[in-house]
Amino acid sequence: MKNIKLVTLPALLMLFIVSCSSVKVLSDYDKEANFNNFKTYAFYKTGIDKAQISDLDKKRILRAIETEMAAKGFTKSKNPDLLVSIFTKEQEQVDIYNGYWGGYYGWGWSPYYWGPGYGYGYGSNVSTSTEGSLYIDLIDTRNKQLVWQGKGIGTLYNSGNIDKKEARIKEFVSHIMEQYPPNAIAAK
């Protein structure tokens, strides 16, 4: 019985950690597009240049997209079927927690009593985080029309750890690209 409890606790802890770091994903697509016709891609430099993030983060995102596209059987081409563009947004989240934070013993005053006694403390805790959105657009080069868009929303970590930052970007891209192609999702 002890072995089961020891295994269950780390599993629950891991589930909690994974759920806290999740990426919410949405996608939309052109129902008239034949996604089986798309085999090659290139990055749409004009669109990517407009993304308001650092050039280093752009490179990280594009490398992650390359990995995902290769896994789906796509090849980069100078004459592509699809153009890939990205767009980013971020928003500061402020969370305020009000509530009881503990009791204390010490000197104090109340309408009925002055002197040593036990009291209760109430306080607030304010935390901030950055919520980011990454959009990945796939554009049909034949008619210059958007055929698929994926969006990932999640908390961004502004730590100095480059490996964690890169892993988070890969996680965003991977979850977004799971939604492509849309016909595969409908078949599930």
8 A C-beta contact, residue 67 and residue 76: no
Exposure b/e, 88-121, CB count within 10 A at least 16 = b? beeeeeeeeeeeeeeeeeeeeeeeeeeeeeeeee
Q: pLDDT tens string for the chain (188 positions)?
A: 444 444 433 333 333 333 345 899 999 999 999 999 999 999 999 999 999 888 999 999 999 999 999 999 999 999 999 999 999 987 776 767 666 555 555 555 555 555 555 555 556 677 666 788 999 999 999 999 999 999 999 987 666 889 998 999 999 999 999 999 996 554 44
The SS3 call for residue 171 is helix
- For residue 169, the model assigns a pLDDT of 93
In angstroms, the first-to-last Cα distance of the chain is 38
Q: How far apart are CA 80 and CA 92, in angstroms?
A: 37
The dihedral formed by the CA atoms of 175, 164, 22 and 4, expressed in degrees to the nearest 10: 110
| pLDDT recorded at residue 76 | 98
How confident is the model at residue 92, as a pLDDT? 72
DSSP tag of 95: E
Task: Decide if 130 contacts 92 (C-beta within 8 A).
Answer: yes
- Rg of the chain, C-alpha, whole Å: 25
Which is nearest to 21 in space by CA: 135, 150, 153? 153
> Which domains does the chain show, CATH number per domain?
23-94+132-187 (3.30.160.670)
Peptide bond preceding 181 in cis form (omega within 30 of 0): yes
